[in-house]
Amino acid sequence: MSPSATDDISALQAALGIPAGYAASRGLTAQSPPPFWIEAGLDRGGRPIWLEHEASCAFLRLTQSAARDGITIIVVSAYRSYLHQARLIQRQLERGVPLEVILARIAPPGYSEHHTGRALDLSSAEETEPLTESFEKTLLFDWLSQCASPFGFRLSYPRGNPQGFIYEPWHWAYA
């Protein structure tokens, strides 16, 4: 990460009230955007899905394999900029959610796997409320748990993960 990007991220975190050294205290690793992205379709909201090249190719193979097994993958979120990440946190703060609660669910700017273009938040048609633990009860979650690894994808935040994030059965990343 360039020095100016580090300064920008530090400024974003300070503006959100995230203390200096917070990421280090949680063992979070700085995440940089890829040199270029590939558009990999549209997400649930009709926005382009931007992924790093290798992740995009692997995701295409993953979705094709899932489709052959009768499983449809819906993308809720993929690449996010540092600013977008800061806006997500700011919206929660404006709703009165305590910062410590937010940071158990949303990585600080500069530390989200979404910055890399290698992470996806997923959903399925059978899910009524995306981005909740109910995802673990879907056929898609079962399929991903059994089949995602050969395509290079892993569940990033299982229960009790060392980063201290909530359990996110919907969040999968290309390793």
Encode pLDDT of 70-105 as tens digits: 999 999 999 999 999 999 999 999 999 999 999 999
140: pLDDT strictly greater than 90: yes
Task: Please compute the mean of the pLDDT values over residues 42-66 and round it to a whole number.
Answer: 96
What would the DSSP string read from start to end of the chain? --HHHHHHHHHHHHHHTPPTTHHHHHTPPP----S-EEEEEE-TTS-EEEEEHHHHHHHHHHHHHHHHTT---EEEE----HHHHHHHHHHHHHTT--HHHHHHHSPPTT--GGGGT-EEEEE-TT-SSSSSGGGGGSHHHHHHHHHSGGGTEEEEE-TT-TT-PPPEEEEEEE-
35-71: string of b/e by CB count within 10 Å (b at 16+)?
A: eebbebeebeeeeebbbbeebbbbbeebbebbeeeeb
User: What's the pLDDT score for residue 11?
Assistant: 95
User: What's the pLDDT score for residue 5?
Assistant: 72
- The C-alpha atoms of residue 138 and residue 165 are separated, in whole angstroms, by 21
Domains of the chain are 3-174 (3.30.1380.10)
Encode pLDDT of 28-50 as tens digits: 999 999 988 899 999 999 999 99
